[in-house]
Structure 1
Amino acid sequence: MSRTGARPRVLVVGAGLAGTATAIRLLHFARRPLEIVLLERRPDYRSAGVAYHRDGNPWDHVFNIQAGRMSVFREDVLDFVHWANQEADRRDWPQRWAARKFTEQGPAPRRIFQDYLDDRLAEARRESCPGTVLVEADGEALAMDPRGRGFEVTIGHLCANGLDGLRPGPLPDTKVLGADHVVLATGLELKEPPFAAEVAGHPSFVRNPYSAAGVRALTRLRPDATVAIVGSVLSAYDSAGLLLRNGHTGRIHLISKSGTIFRTYPDTHEHGVVRLPRPETLLEPYRGPEEFLARAGAAWRAACSTVREQHPGIAPVIVSERVAKAWEPYLPEIIERIPTDDLRRLLDEFATTIAALRVGAVKYTMAVIEHAMRTPDGPVELVVGKVRAITPARSGRLLVSLAPQHDGRTLEADLVVSNFGRESDYAKVDGPLWRDLLRKGIAVPHERTGRGLEVDACGTLLDGDGRPAGPVSTVGVPREGDEIVRHGRTGAFAFNLAAIKNHSVSVAAHVVEQLELRQEGLYDIAARHPHYRSYASNPEEADRAALEESVVLEVRRLATRERREREALDSRLIASIHSMGGLPALPADVSRPDRLMRAVVNRVAVERLNDVSVTPRQLRRQLGIGNVDKPEG
């Protein structure tokens, strides 16, 4: 849709971490007037989502990773720590946190992340270019219809100030909002556990431990009660840790099909990247899952041995994480050899194991769990088994039955907490928006993995024919399957902050680029001349230095939060691009080759900002961005 006479409008659906991070980048990247509508159906989730909202995160819930890895800006690794120490309003914090100086390796409570994102969004709004507007709207996106070169989005119970151009919707309490581009940042979708159908509304069953009701159920439980926690992923440790820190003495059963317990990060742990050779044996012809797993196990053990020998300074508990991340560049080629059915089964069977290899948890979370498990007759017991059913008992308690091929026993509990996880198969997601998008073919479930949706390299939704479904992008969880097969990124993807940060940069840059090209009448150039982008990797020798200068300037512009500095960098960038001349790959009659060169430079700059082969601190040094190691506190 072309909104004639108005500034372009970008609708971001979902205002949790992914949506807020993308809105921040849009405010930074826009060089012309732009309206950004940040839509959230749950006001308490704004700038937080399920992972960080205050009502579901008491003060004992801390980040699973160190505070120094929680910056919303990958190129400014310590931004969150500096905010917590220098800017955060601590007046309502409990003393144990209010008096704390946060460090890069230390813990931090998850609930303060909402304030951090709020502050960074407000800062981005203040520092945006003139004419750029941010509208924070409450409401639920229900349906989308292509209109011209945009979408009309039906929104239920829309409440927002400053929105114009609305027209009455087809149903009571709905409005139709025109958007030139839509960004879907809807976060995780809860999976309904089939084994708990009989107890879905039972007062002793907690389906969502990150809800206000879930937290109340845990904190008000009598100390000697028996608790069963289904799942041993990181969210399960939050529930168990909350009970133990409140003096719980009754039995806590951690029920895990795989028996996986996550590793504890050392106090001095820092994010790092090692380089390993390709695991050549995994690139041999695929001969079935058992044979493949045997090869994978042998290659894994060899890689871990190599890291221990070549990097003796790496703590033993971190070796698996280093290997898992070093293998990511090779996984797409390996995955390509595995048949779809086998790939899906392997991902389902080993999801928790893979997540535990790739990420650990901070000592604050794990110490209380490990102590309770190590103590003779301690309250925490790891139960290895698959839950077959949860049913009411005559006593009013709940019965948790395990599958015969596993433990086989039945546990009776006063409270059952389900960490059964999220629904990654969007064909099964029950929300009205996703049902609408799949029915219309605007979104298609990811074919190879059954996780997330089909998207292109820019995060644009693809239809059933593999073509862009329109100006609609995705950030975060819906891209899980694509991230696995395109980049080899596996693990606990629902809360993968690194992936969300990269998505927010690339999607925001792509959206701004597309809107600017449209305004300049160059929107169809990429379709008519798709090879123009390859000029960045194969420039004429005479232009190489000028191209590099332009890319460095664009990287710094994208990474700069102050408007005046961005504008100065933009002026220098325009002059640098003009010095390069035209694009030899394009026909001579194409107008504004300098503008297309700008798009090329932007793409290369985004790739550099999102380079995961180096740590954020190494990236900062390589790109010459600001002060690499600002003092903490």
Structure 2
Amino acid sequence: MSKTGARPRVLVVGAGLAGTATAIRLLHFARRPLEIILLERRADYRSAGVAYHRDGNPWDYVFNIQAGRMSVFREDVLDFVNWANQEADRRKWPRRWASWKFTEQGPAPRRIFQDYLDDRLAEAARESCSGVVLVEADGEALDARRCDRGFEVTVRGLAPHVTEGLRPGALPDTLLLDADHVVLATGLELREPPFAACVAGHPLFIRNPYSASAIRTLTALPADASVVIVGSVLSAYDTAGLLLRNGHTGPVRLVSRSGTLFRTYPGTHEHGVVRLPRPGILMEPYRGREEFLARVRTAWREACSSVREQHPEIDSVVVAERVAKAWEPYLPEAIDFIPSEELRCLLDEFSTGIAALRVGAVEYTMEIIERAMRPEDGRVELVGGRVQEITPAPSGRLTVSLAAQHERHSFEADLVVSNFGRESDYAKVGHPLWRSLVRSGVATPHARTGRGVEVDECGTLLDSHASPAGPISAVGVPREGDEIVRHGRTGAFAFNLAAIKNHSVAVAAHVVEQLELRRDGLHQLAARHPQYRSYVSNPEEAVRGALEESVELEVRRLASRERNRREALDSRLHARIRSMGGLPVLPTGVPRDERLIRAVVNRVAVERLNNVSVTPRQLRRQLGLEQAELPEE
């Protein structure tokens, strides 16, 4: 911790969706002075990242899911829709969207999400407690090393006036920044596809379809040009849809290793959760891939049939999604039987197919693609196979060579677009910050899946001995492997808004809790007794009632965006905890300190706020958040 009386500092590395969402929660949760530095190396990615930044998202690029699922607050499901209808500045929007009435089930342009996150971040800063400040800084984190305070981070491009306490770094144009806690929200890491080595930098090859230069190339392309899009996932539909809406008449080939196409959500589709029994057939010892896949297919057919019979109101198109999500609580147990090497192979082979089971796309995106794939149109074709090589052709075009089953073939194209081949193995990630963290042992590549890094249940990085590596956490993509084995969440993880929302709540609450305990001199005690986090019930009903009421107050405080309301709830919560006196609500050997009881209450409140067994709307009702007024004294 910084010197006595000094304001603690949290450095959030990455200001895209994950970093901004976490900063918003930090601003909401902090009850004492705190400096939050939100660091971003690309100014155009601030409050957006690769998925939502305006320069790479034309107005026709819409969310693949319905607008009603895009709120940054899971406990306030319609916040984004209400913002778009009531608060958004539409003066520079095109006519179609400027007059659009956004609905829960309808589409919304991705590019306006940047404005939404900007507004919600500014609101959170305005409504933060006294002494809590937000610093939005431009710069790139290159290294992070442990120090007495927490971590010393080497930053390139950071203006000296941004914050106090900077020192020159060892590298030219770098500064050293001390932080009490570091949150890594670095987003996806690109992997250069080996099949494109011969065309890297070629004007007819687009490596990043969400770059401003790619959008310019696509919109200026001759209408009769032949186009190959490597991949058939949702980003491929953006590219194809942009071409088709601009009147493209030439052939567009979607090259897919798995031959997967995503489903179109019905116009009335609502997010829902069903409960299914534990698929016991999956919990048997692993006896080989084919035998395991046969068991999966059997259990899957039975589960889908059960949903159709028990829930006839569910559209058949989304039955697969319901089953995939209902299975998530059971998958960690099933995954535990699979050897690591086999698990990695299964994830690599079936990741696109799993993603297509878990999520679809809105009609606005898919309608034009499906129409162009019909035989009477034929402008879009799905081609099965793995791209082996892309090379310049003597004609001046590009040759795409494919391997499909036991044969190879090739064709020429006027333009080739490669969708995101992201690097999920952090032993191979090339960014200097992650290279440094892995090399020093602060970060450990995820052993079971080879995806992301090892973290504990709070998102804290684990070292090679499976111990917390210090006050450093991760949100979003770097936690992919942990999400798979801990929560059974598979497929389409790079832009998984639901997971990011839960990460932002849990990490922000944990960071604030740790800083408070450390400032109060209780962090060593808490570290010696990790069970203090447990919600330890006492048989005395009075104690259970007091704890339950405290948790309800804390849930409402965490979910409140207005400072006055949070402070009023905090005051009531403090009084309620004090009224418990010396009652034994903590494990044996842990002092009955009110501040530790408060940490227990906060942990339970976070778990309830992040409950994924119900829909966001059900969660809001379940937690009593529909009531706008404060509980009476």
TM-score by length of 1: 0.97
Determine helix, strand or coil for the equivalent of 2:28. helix
**Equivalent residue for 2:279?**
279
Q: Does residue 1:350 correspond to 2:350, yes or no?
A: yes
What secondary structure is seen at the aligned counterpart in 1 of 2:119?
helix
Q: In the comparison of the two structures, how many residue pairs are matched? A: 628
Deviation of 1:419 after TM superposition, in Å, equals 1.1
What's the CA shift for 1:539? 6.2
Aligned positions of 1:154-303 closer than 5 A: 154-159=154-159, 161-303=161-303
Q: Which residue of 2 aligns with 1:631?
A: none
In the alignment, is the contact (CA less than 8 A) between 1:3 and 1:180 conserved in 2? no
Q: Does 1:485 align with 2:485?
A: yes
Cα distance between partner residues in 1 of 2:244 and 2:440: 49
Structure 2 Cα separation of the partners of residues 533 and 540 of structure 1: 20
Conserved 8 A contact 2:543-2:585: no
Secondary structure at 1:110 match in 2: coil
Offset at 1:540?
A: 4.4
One-letter code of the match for 2:155?
A: I
In the TM superposition, residue 544 of structure 1 has moved relative to its aligned partner by 0.6
Q: How far does residue 534 in structure 1 lie from its aligned partner after superposition?
A: 2.5
1:135–1:161 contact (8 Å) kept in structure 2 = no
- For residues 347-380 of structure 1, what are the alpha-carbon distances to aligned partners after superposition, in whole Å with 9 as ceiling and x for unaligned? 0000000000000000000000000001424200
Q: Deviations over 1:288-328 (max 9, x none)?
A: 11100000001001000000000000000100000000000
Task: Please report how far the alpha carbon of residue 47 of structure 1 lies from its aligned counterpart in structure 2 after TM superposition.
Answer: 0.2
CA drift at 1:606: 0.1
Match of 1:105 in 2: 105
Q: Deviations over 1:39-83 (max 9, x none)?
A: 000000000000000000000000010000000000000000000
- Is 2:167 the counterpart of 1:142? no
**Structure-2 change in CA distance of 1:444 and 1:538 (3 Å):** farther
Report the counterpart of residue 574 of structure 1 in structure 2.
574
Correspondence 1:422 to 2:422: yes
Secondary structure of 2:330's partner? helix
SS of the residue aligned with 1:68? helix
Tell me how far apart the structure 2 counterparts of residues 303 and 432 of structure 1 sit (CA, whole Å). Answer: 45
1:84 equivalenced with 2:84 (yes/no)? yes
Structure 1 segments of 4+ aligned residues over 4 angstroms from their partners: 537-540, 585-592
2:388 equivalent to 1:388: yes
Residue 224 of structure 2 aligns to a residue whose secondary structure is coil
Q: Is the 8 A contact 1:385 1:406 kept in 2?
A: no
Is 2:495 the partner of 1:498?
no
Using the TM superposition, name which of 446-455 and 373-382 deviates more: 373-382
Higher mean Cα deviation, 539-548 or 112-121? 539-548
Q: Which residue identity does 2:116 align to in structure 1?
A: Y
In 1, Cα distance between equivalents of 2:286 and 2:185: 36
Letter in 2 for 1:443: A
CA distance in 1, matches of 2:574, 2:230: 57
Gaps in structure 1 of 5+ consecutive residues: 629-633
Residues 71, 78 of structure 2: 8 Å contact kept? yes
Q: CA–CA distance in 2 between the matches of 1:334 and 1:217?
A: 46
Residues 261-300 of structure 1: CA deviation (Å, up to 9, x unaligned) = 0000000000000000000100111111110000000100
Question: Equivalent residue for 2:361?
Answer: 361
Shift of 1:172: 2.1
Counterparts of 2:366 and 2:409 in 1: how far apart (Å)?
27
1:220 aligned partner, one-letter code: A
Partner of 2:631: none
Q: How does 1:38-49 map to 2 (within 5 A)?
A: 38-49=38-49
The alpha-carbon deviation at position 560 of structure 1 amounts to: 0.1
Q: CA deviation at 1:589?
A: 8.5
AA matched with 2:621: R
- Please report how far the alpha carbon of residue 588 of structure 1 lies from its aligned counterpart in structure 2 after TM superposition: 8.8
Deviation (angstroms), 1:627: 5.4
C-alpha distance in structure 2 between counterparts of 1:409 and 1:446, whole Å: 37
Please tell me the residue identity of whatever aligns with 1:606: V
CA contact (8 A) 2:505 2:606 kept: yes
User: How far has the Cα of 1:457 moved from its partner?
Assistant: 0.3
Alpha-carbon separation, structure 1, partners of 2:537 and 2:257: 47
- Deviation sequence 1:8-34 (CA, Å, 0-9, x none): 000000000000000000000000000
Report the counterpart of residue 318 of structure 2 in structure 1.
Answer: 318
Aligned in 2, Cα 1:401/1:589: closer, same or farther, shift over 3 Å?
A: closer
* 1:460 corresponding residue in structure 2: 460
Q: Which amino acid aligns with 1:603?
A: R
Partner of 2:584: 584
Amino acid in structure 2 at the alignment position of 1:324:
A
Contact in 2 for aligned 1:473/1:507 (Cα 8 Å)? yes
Query: Displacement, 1:529?
Result: 1.8
| Gap change, CA 1:373 and 1:407, over 3 Å in 2 | farther
Q: Shift in Å at residue 590 of structure 1?
A: 5.9
Q: Deviations over 1:320-343 (max 9, x none)?
A: 000000000000000000000100
Partners in 2 of 1:427 and 1:334 — Cα distance?
26
| Structure 1 partner of 2:610 | 610
Counterpart secondary structure, 2:198: helix
Secondary structure of the 1:409 match is strand
The answer (yes or no) to whether the contact 1:461–1:470 under 8 Å persists in 2 is yes
**Partner SS, residue 222 of structure 1:** coil
1:529-540 mapped onto 2 (5 Å cutoff): 529-536=529-536, 540=540
Structure 2 segments unaligned to the other structure (5+ residues): 629-633
TM-score, normalization by structure 2: 0.97
What value does the CA root-mean-square deviation take over the aligned residues?
A: 1.4
Cα deviation for residue 498 of structure 1 reads 0.2
Kept in 2: contact 1:532–1:585 (CA 8 A) = no
Work out the CA distance in 1 between the residues paired with 2:101 and 2:407: 45
Give, in angstroms, the shift of residue 405 of structure 1: 2.7
1:53 and 2:53 equivalent? yes
Q: 1:361 to 1:567 in 2, by over 3 A?
A: same
